[in-house]
Amino acid sequence: MKIITAIAALGLLSAISFGSSAAQLVNNQQAENLQPIGTISVSGIDGVPSDIRQQLSQKADSAGASSYRVIEARNEGNYHATAEIYK
């Protein structure tokens, strides 16, 4: 029983730590005070804006960024978004 409790606690802690490390969406004014480190893009067949933001956030995290700013977004049957990432 202690093992199940420990596994549940670790799962909860990892979910909390993942949420706290997610790259944050920033606007143009907020980005002025940040150091750019590159760009990322995501695209796909289906998606709503929240799905696109989630994918951008995950990709920014993978690149070591703490925040990102969307610089291009379109949906012409397929969505595509490009973001500048920041430290």
pTM across the whole model: 0.72
The three-class DSSP label of residue 65 is coil
Q: Please tell me which residue, 32 or 3, carries the higher pLDDT value.
A: 32
Q: How long is the chain?
A: 87
| pLDDT beyond 90 at 62 | yes
Stretch 3-9: mean pLDDT, rounded?
A: 42
**In the block, residue with structure tokens 């993942």:** 18
10 vs 72: CA distance, rounded Å: 38
pLDDT at 3: 42
Give the torsion sign (CA, 76, 45, 47, 40). negative
Percentage of the chain lying above the pLDDT 70 cut? 75
